[in-house]
Structure 1
């Protein structure tokens, strides 16, 4: 990659894989989106609730309520594996929190939009950057639900290849590039 500036799939260092997105794909939900980038796909559903649906959080600084909940699910079948599906693991918790932190600053205040927001992102296939597919899909699903975001949110996963003092920055990394 450092010599040829070409990647495993033939892209140059800056090219993002093809993106396809749809909103309103599930008719009975408040908001939904299907976001696909290359071989990574997320189905994202947004649900609106009342203040009584807020999550109670018991933190080191005390109890508080959170009105934005984001669940990131990464089932084994998304990477062609079999396995148990149960409680969330480190990947689900960490990637979900990453996506939550990307979206939360763009949410309207409780005074502007007095609803609890629950988002569920189901990764249906993954070849890198599934947390960023969740960010993109969440933004689309929330807008489909009528949530007045300050601005749309999108993201890609980046990579760095370093050999001595030579380096290459990769945009929109694949799963295999994540392990280089």
Structure 2
């Protein structure tokens, strides 16, 4: 079997529902998020996913466990480099209430796209090497996944990443952008 890698965004939380920036604040899934995870697991059944990993945050860990339960798949240790982007002082704030001026004033306190890629890309490549021949799904977070997806696509995409959305990773493209000295031109 060929190695495959996909990212999936965790299920919904109450903060997602309210439009709050979660970042690294450890918010649990709500009932809708649990339902999304179980439904995704049933949808993915029979597609060969055999290893579920997740960021260390509770919402990602629970999503991975619920998907794995539906698939009868193995779970593994937390993948810390796939944690959500740090939004610093904006965490817990409702996104629509943060003005452009306020966001600009705290920009230096937010994790950059470059920093996200510097932690995430080597981790993804290492997981592929460590689990060669396996079909690996990693439960991660919206902002982190957007940055990875946009780098793989070669530019910023208009849409966000929905709760429960799966992004298949082109492993050849992953190796290309990981070798690029400046894959972030967003």
Shared topology, TM-score over 0.5? no
Query: Higher relative contact order by CA 8 Å / sep ≥ 6: 1 or 2?
Result: 2
How does the TM-score come out when normalised to structure 2? 0.25
TM-score by length of 1: 0.26
More strand per residue = 1
More helix by share: 2
